[in-house]
Amino acid sequence: MFIMGSSSMRIAAIVFYLCFLTFATFHNCFCNGNSSIVCSKTEKQALLKFKQDLKDPSNRLSSWAGDDCCQWSGVVCDNFTGHVHEIHLDNADCNYNGNYPEYEACWLYHHLRYLDLSNAGFSRAIPHQLGNLTMMRYLDLSRNSVFLQGTFPEIELHLRGDNLHWVLGLLSLQPLDMSLVNLSTAVDWLEGISTFPSLVELHLAECDLKYSSPSTTINFTSIHILDFSVNYFGPSIPKWIFSLNHLVSLDISGWNFYGPIPNGIKNITSLKEFYASGNNLNSPLPKELFNLKDLVSLGLSFNNFQGSIPIGLLNMTSLRDLDLSNNFFTSLPNGLLSSLRCLELVILNQNHLQLQGVISGAIGNLTSLISLDMSHNQVEGNIPRSLGKLCKLKTIDLSYNKLGGEHSSKSRYRVT
Ligand SMILES: *[C@@H]1O[C@H](CO)[C@@H](O)[C@H](O)[C@H]1NC(C)=O
Ligand SMILES: *[C@@H]1O[C@H](CO)[C@@H](O)[C@H](O)[C@H]1NC(C)=O
Ligand SMILES: *[C@@H]1O[C@H](CO)[C@@H](O)[C@H](O)[C@H]1NC(C)=O
Ligand SMILES: *[C@@H]1O[C@H](CO)[C@@H](O)[C@H](O)[C@H]1NC(C)=O
Ligand SMILES: *[C@@H]1O[C@H](CO)[C@@H](O)[C@H](O)[C@H]1NC(C)=O
Ligand SMILES: *[C@@H]1O[C@H](CO)[C@@H](O)[C@H](O)[C@H]1NC(C)=O
Ligand SMILES: *[C@@H]1O[C@H](CO)[C@@H](O)[C@H](O)[C@H]1NC(C)=O
Ligand SMILES: *[C@@H]1O[C@H](CO)[C@@H](O)[C@H](O)[C@H]1NC(C)=O
């Protein structure tokens, strides 16, 4: 016996009701002599009908009552026309209970700009009719899943997409987040979205994406943020990624890539965040990486990088967060822990760092430092007093090293 949230039906129903909203005819603001906008009766009834078919254990939608749906929580209207422009049902914790006819006349609906249904417990398939909401600028369907109760082991069903062709209808879309949506059967997902003119932000983390070489030119002309993490593509990083030279943030963690970081990385000079943790990347860090002078966050943990951390790293003077933990690095460049003054978070644990006196008194120069983890290395020397000058420092872990004599072998130095 199990209960299944028929979440695609819920999305379908939302789309269905959104379609109703289209037929809203008048705007009370022009009729009641009051300058405040009130939503139309049709739109209100559509939303109420939708609410009726939701379980709402946390009473999230308790404000969905009364005349003016523009005042309801999660509903935002256009101030001038009174049309519902935004629906925020993220973290809604409500199960769709109804059984509605398939979408009708959705193409008439042109008003909705913003739809956030993230983490709201949907599963099953995404209705392609969402692609008819042509004014949509923001769409978040991420982190939707439902647990089948009473099964052992417990089964978690994710929201599914069998293709991404419908997305092409959303001509104004800027951020699209479908992280944790199961796209394993959407084989041509890349071609589906790669010519998208407006997309600025794309999150497809943990989507079970199947990678195949694109047959068309990849032309994400406007994309700034690309998160493809945890999709197990392997074995090598696709070349087209390095042609996206407007990228500001790139996350290709957890792809099972082998080999070195390709030289092409130097082309993405606008990059501020680069994450490639949890791959099988090896060899020393390439000098092309240090071309990225504006990089603020670098995450390369859980790879097989070897050798010295190159001196070029000191050229990345904007660096704030550095995570090189769980690799096979053997040494740090002199001055890393003193000249990169923006550093706030430094994670270097679980390497083979073997330097003597690598933590010098000059660490006192890193006045922004909040957290330092160098545990499980072979660092020797004494712990410098100048650490006491770092007034933002919250945690420091130097355990499992050869610092300050034997007593440090297991102790954790923590400043709070
Ligand atoms: C206008 O609307 C506001 C809020 O909805 C209400 O408080 C006010 O009394 C209304 N004024 C008139 C003249 O109807
Ligand atoms: C609409 O009005 C609300 C409340 O007066 C205001 O907070 C909001 O910024 C306005 N929105 C726009 C787009 O003007
Ligand atoms: C609405 O969506 C359906 C399903 O994706 C599609 O077949 C239809 O052409 C769309 N209508 C318009 C006007 O975009
Ligand atoms: C995704 O869907 C496919 C087929 O529908 C299924 O075999 C697979 O287990 C699903 N993946 C996850 C992570 O649920
Ligand atoms: C890429 O997109 C730009 C702008 O939308 C367009 O001018 C150009 O022709 C496209 N190139 C290809 C190969 O599709
Ligand atoms: C990097 O940029 C150079 C010069 O613009 C170009 O020739 C090369 O093909 C680019 N590399 C990649 C991998 O896109
Ligand atoms: C670091 O910057 C200096 C000065 O701009 C330059 O000469 C050097 O080649 C750079 N090193 C690397 C590895 O990029
Ligand atoms: C640390 O700061 C002092 C002055 O505050 C400066 O003289 C010294 O060169 C700095 N050390 C490094 C390694 O940047």
Ligand nearest the Cα of residue 361 is: 8
For the CA of 311, the nearest atom of ligand 7? 13
User: Looking at ligand 5, which residue's alpha carbon is closest to its atom 8?
Assistant: 219
Q: Cβ contacts of residue 287 below 8 Å, gap of 6+?
A: 310, 312
Q: What is the pLDDT of residue 95?
A: 55
- Per-residue confidence (pLDDT) for residue 154, from 0 to 100: 79
Residue 322: its pLDDT value, please? 97
Residue 311 Cα to ligand 7 midpoint, Å, equals 9
Q: Which ligand is nearest to the CA of 288?
A: 7
Residue with token string 């009834």: 45
Residues with Cβ within 6 A of ligand 5? Answer: 195, 197, 217, 219, 221
Distance in angstroms (rounded) separating the CA atoms of residues 307 and 284? 6
DSSP 3-state assignment of 43? helix
The tens digit of pLDDT for each residue in 176-224 reads: 999 999 999 988 888 778 778 789 999 999 999 887 677 667 778 789 9
Measured CA to CA in angstroms, residue 41 lies from 82, 83, 243 at distances of 11, 11, 50
Please give the average per-residue pLDDT across 108-113, as a whole number: 69
- Is ligand 3 within 6 A of the CB of residue 107? yes
Going from the Cα of 380 to the center of ligand 8, the distance in angstroms, rounded, reads 22
Q: Could you say which ligand is closest to the alpha carbon of residue 245?
A: 6
* Gap from CA of 151 to ligand 4 centroid (Å): 17
Global model pTM greater than 0.85: no
Q: 323-337: per-residue pLDDT in tens? A: 999 999 998 888 888
How confident is the model over 160-188, as a mean pLDDT? 90
Ligand 6 centre from 243 Cα, in Å? 7
The pLDDT-based confidence of 361 (bands split at 50, 70, 90) is: confident
- Burial class of residue 31 (count of CB atoms within 10 Å of its CB; 0-12, 13-18, 19+): exposed
Instruction: Calculate how far, in angstroms, residue 409's C-alpha sits from the geometric centre of ligand 2.
Output: 59
How is the chain split into domains, by residue range? Answer: 1-146+159-175
Q: Residue 72 has which token pair? A: 């309801």
| Residues paired with 322 in a beta bridge | 298, 346
Q: For the ranges 21-30, 111-120, 144-153, which has the lowest average pLDDT?
A: 21-30
Q: Is 208 in the pocket of ligand 4 (CB under 6 A)?
A: yes
Tokens at residue 268, please?
């993405």
Fold of 1-146+159-175: 3.80.10
Residue 270: which of 240, 244, 300, 298 has the closest Cα?
244
